[in-house]
Every structure is written in structure tokens, then in C-alpha cells.
Chains A and B, each alone.
Chain A
Amino acid sequence: MDFSFYLIIIPKLLSGLPMTLQLTAISVSLGFILALTLALLLQTKQRLVTLPIRTFVAIFRGTPLLLQIFLIYYGLGQFRKDLQFVGLWGFFREPYWCAILALSLNTAAYGSEILRGAIKSVPKGLVEAARASGLSYYLTMRLVVLPIALRQAIPSYGNEIILMVKGTSLASVVTLMEVTGIAHGLISETYRAIEVFVCAGAIYLTINFLIIRGLAALEHRLSPPYLRKRT
């Protein structure tokens, strides 16, 4: 084992960490807002509203993320003139925003399904009780349904966040230098693929471990004492 080699490459790989974390944080946040909006819209049962949402979800869940990134970056790059015309080219010109768009839409599609399931799992009796006590639909949602649904969704949503952390590794295909992109650069400098990928893997593993721990703590805090798991 050549430890000095690891000592050289680890700091270099870590220089890509801010980009990886930024991509994750922004797309998870944007994706969550969108996912929640979609999940709430799906409650309306209006076909005119639900059909487009279902189509969106089916498309983004049914195709590979890599393909979505390629399609948004290189595919839409072909329509520069049209995008310039509508003033969107400034956005699509940047690989950073294209990656964020692809990641956010992808996680929104998965997230909306998770949240829809969580909302559905809230006992009907609670909703009826809230409505019977005179709460409006909006207040019932805000004060009764969502707090319970969101807490129940934490484990599944946590998995989705982890998938997103892993998904950012694909952003290197659109020229972004996050951890995996830097790993590729290091390999072409040192020609030692395995060592570099092992280090990069360890970095992702650490991030994901911390996220899992953080979410478990959050779930613990948000649960009433009788629902808490023994830790």
C-alpha cells in the first residue's frame, strides 16, 4: 500500500466536494419544493391537473438520469436560437444549471411519488376529525396531514436524497468538476484508476453515512415519544 499516494490524491478529490454538495443541496431543495407541490396537486383528482403530472413522473422515473442530463444539456443545446429568442439561453448555456435542472426534475418525480404515498397513508379518521372540528381543507392539510405525512416520509425520502448524492456523480459528463470529474482527471494524470476510485467511493460513503445519521436524528426528534425507536 502506497499511503503517500493516498495523501496526495485525497485533498485533490476533496476539492470537488463543494461542487458535489452544492449540486446535491440545491437539487434536493428545489426538487422537494416541486415534489411537494406536485403531490398536493395530485390530491385534487382533477384529470386536467393529474394527467400532466403523472406523465411527467412516468417520464422522469422511466428513463435513466444520465440520458436526462444528456438530453437537457446537449439535446437542448441544439435549440440555441429558439432559447435565445425566449431569453432562456443564459440558463441553458451553463452546464451547472443544466445539471441542476436535470437532477431537480428527476428527484421531484421520485419525491412526489414518495410524498403522495405518505399523504395517502395518513389515517382517514384524523382528516375527518379535523374537518368535523371545523378546520378548513387548507388548515387540515397544513396542521394535520402534512406534519404526519412528512415525518413518515423521512426514511424513503432519505433514500432518495442518497440516490441524488450518487446521481451528482453523473454531472461530470457535462464538464462539471465534482468529485467524480476530478477523479477522472487524477486517473489521467496518475493512470491509477483503482486507488482513485476507492478514495472517491470513500468520500461518497462518508457523505451518505452523515446524511443517514442526520435524518435518523431528525426523525427521532419529530416523533412523539411513544413512536420513538430505541437507539
Chain B
Amino acid sequence: MKKTFNLIATLLALSVYQGAHAASNSITIATEGAYPPWNFTTSDGQLAGFEVDLAKVLCKKMAMDCTIIAQDWSGMIPALKAGKFDVIMAGMFITDKRLEVMSFSQPYAIDPSSFAVEKDSELAKSTDSEKVSLNDTEKAQAAIEKLRPLLKGKTVGVQASTTLYEFLKKYFGDDIKIRTYKTTEQRDLDLEAGRVDAIYGQRTVLAATLKNDGFQDFMIAGPGFYGGIFGRGVGAGVRKDDDKLREKLNSAIQSAIADGTIKQLSEKWMGVDITPGS
């Protein structure tokens, strides 16, 4: 009996600890760990990818101790609010809706979003592949109307709780059947299995998917949308009242853009430069 009590006491003592950020110069950064090439988990359990490398660089620039942890995408914002970690770096778009409940650093990347489909499908015939800003209402509307008939009645897979999903619902909600997935990997498996006709995602992420075995017959199709509902690009999310940390992140990101670190890292992981303003 005594032993059991001791064990429980030890476990409780171990489990209650003060939030890292409040205590000292250390922060916890959450990423999804399942969003290649932005962030993913290797076979030995390590986190890797563009954002993981970038997080390490930013921490060095801020002179802070960082712990990077993996966290399911769908619950990330409530978990940030609940204080489970201090920063989100997980390919998260800075959107107006999110800004209502949290705060963001300046963007560290801009990445347009597209569809991926089978090469002999109708959507693949859409030759448009230029970038379209949703802020440019007229041009965006024209591009969307061109896509609409090609998508009519199709089933499209997209990761749940994302702005990508919001986009599909807003612009094609009446035309297509949307299926939502917890991770992009599950979405990809269903594309490969033919359970969905198309998937929608960030271009760099789709490109990484298509590099895998089994995706030779698929391609990225349609214009690359950005702006508007997609907000101001990808940034690091922090709690609303955490201005000090946001300022620190901002200057670190500014410096990483200026010295070409972001360009170099994005080319290393994605083969393209996604530095904001490039």
C-alpha cells in the first residue's frame, strides 16, 4: 500500500510542472510532424523538414532554448490557447478568422494552393497554372468559374480544419463533395486508392506527395490560389497576449529572410523559393 502511494506521489510530482515559457528563457514549439516537406517524422522518431530547420534557426537568433513537439493538427489552436505549448509552426496560414483568437508573427513563407488529380481526368486539361490572388476579385472569379464545370459532382479530399477546406466550401461547396482527413497522408492514401477524384492542398505539399511511388499517374492542376481567404501567408502562431514573444519571432524571421536562410532552407526541402515577396 505504502509503495503504491509513493508511486502515485512521484507520478503526480513528475506530472505537475510550471509552463516552460513563463518560467525561463525556453519555449515549446508545436508542429504537426505529418506535413511533408514542411514538417514530418522520420523512421527513428525525429522531427524533420523545412519548418523544423527554420524553428531551430529562429531559436538560435532569439537566443532561446526550444523544444519542438508534434501535435495533431485539428486541435492545435485550442491546445495553444490552453497553454500546451507557446508557438505553432505548422504551415499555418495567417487568416482573419484565426487572428480573432490568436496572434501571428510576420509570414515566413507564401505558398499557393492547387488541386492534384489523375493525369487523364478532366481537371488535368485545365491548362491554367498561374498564381491567382483571391484579393484580385475579378481575375479570381474568372479562374474559379473556369474550374467549376470541371469539378462538378467530383469528390475532393482535403485536410480537416484547414483554410484549404474553408476555400473549397466557400467557392465550390455546392458543386463538389468534400471529404476531410485528419492528416495529409490519409488524404493521399485515398487519392491513390481512388476513393476521391482530386485532392486540394498547398502546392509544395502536393509536389512532395506526387514524388512518392504510386503517384506517377497524378499531377498538379489548376491555378495556384493565394491571398483572400488564405490570408497573409504562413506564419508562426502565438497566444494573443504574448506580444513579447511575437516581437522576438518577428525580428528573427526578418533576419532569416534578409540573410537568405529561408530561401536556402525552402530550396533544400521544396526545390522552390517560397520566401515572402519573392
| Interface residues, chain A, with chain B CB atoms under 8 Å away | 74, 77-78, 80, 93, 95, 173, 175, 184-185, 187-188, 191-194
Report yes or no: B193 in contact with A192, Cβ–Cβ below 8 A: no
On whether A191 and B195 interact (CB within 8 A), knowing A74-B189, A185-B160, the answer reads no
**One of B33-41, B74-82, B118-126 contacting the partner:** B74-82
Q: 27 A-B contacts, Cβ less than 8 Å apart?
A: A74-B189, A77-B190, A77-B192, A77-B193, A78-B189, A78-B193, A80-B193, A80-B194, A95-B179, A95-B195, A173-B182, A175-B180, A184-B74, A184-B160, A184-B161, A185-B160, A185-B161, A185-B180, A187-B78, A188-B74, A188-B77, A188-B161, A191-B77, A191-B78, A191-B101, A191-B102, A193-B75
CB distance from A34 to the nearest CB of B (A): 26
Considering residues A77, A187, A188, A193, which has the most beta carbons from chain B within 10 angstroms of its beta carbon?
A: A188
Instruction: Report the minimal beta-carbon distance from A178 to chain B, rounded to whole angstroms.
Output: 13
Tell me the bound Cα distance from A199 to B81 in angstroms.
20
Q: Say if the beta carbon of B181 comes within 8 Å of chain A.
A: yes
Q: Is the CB of A187 within 8 A of B179?
A: no
B129 within 8 A of A: no
Name the A residues within 8 Å of B255 (CB-CB).
Answer: none
Give the distance in Å from the alpha carbon of A193 to the alpha carbon of B161 in the complex. 13
B212 nearest CB across to chain A (Å): 13
A185 to B179, CA, bound (A): 12
Rounded to whole angstroms, the CA-CA distance of A95 and B178 in the bound complex is 13
Q: Is the CB of B179 within 8 A of A175?
A: yes
What is the interface residue range for chain B against chain A?
20 to 34
Identify the B interface with A (CB < 8 A): 74-75, 77-78, 81-82, 101-102, 160-161, 179-182, 186, 189-190, 192-195
Contact A192 B194 (CB under 8 A): no
Contact A187 B75 (CB under 8 A): yes
Q: Which residues of B contact A187 (CB under 8 A)?
A: 74-75, 78, 161
Contacts of A95 in B (CB 8 A): 179, 195
User: Who on chain B is nearest to A193 by CB?
Assistant: B78
- Which 4 pairs across A and B sit closest by C-beta, in order of nearness? A188-B161, A77-B193, A193-B78, A175-B179
* Chain B minimum-CB-distance residue to A197: B78
CB closest chain-A residue, reference B97: A189
Residue of A nearest to B187 (CB): A175
Report how far A78 CA is from B160 CA in the complex, Å.
Answer: 22
Which of B81, B101, B102, B190 gathers most chain A CB within 10 Å? B190
Contacts of B75 in A (CB 8 A): 187, 193
- Closest chain-A Cβ to B55's Cβ sits at a distance in Å of 23
CB-CB under 8 A from A192, the residues of chain B are: 78
Cα distance A185–B81 in the bound complex, in angstroms: 17
Residue of B nearest to A187 (CB): B78
Whose C-beta in chain B lies nearest to the C-beta of A84? Answer: B194
Asked if B195 and A77 make an inter-chain contact with CB atoms under 8 angstroms apart, the answer reads yes
Please tell me if the beta carbons of A191 and B193 are within 8 angstroms of each other in the complex. no
Nearest chain B CB to A89's CB is how many angstroms away?
A: 8
A93 to chain B, nearest CB (A): 5
Which residues of A sit under 8 angstroms from B81, Cβ to Cβ?
191
Q: How far is the CA of A78 from the CA of B194 in the complex (A)?
A: 10
Q: Give the nearest-CB partner of A176 in chain B.
A: B179
Distance of B7 from chain A, by nearest CB (Å): 26
Give B239 Cβ to nearest chain A Cβ, in Å.
12
A228 nearest CB across to chain B (Å): 43
B81 closest partner in A (C-beta): A191
Chain A residues positioned under 8 Å from B102 (CB to CB): 191
Q: Provide the residues of chain A in CB contact with B190, threshold 8 Å.
A: 74, 77, 175
| Distance of A173 Cα from B193 Cα, bound (Å) | 17
Cα A188 to Cα B78 in complex, Å, equals: 9
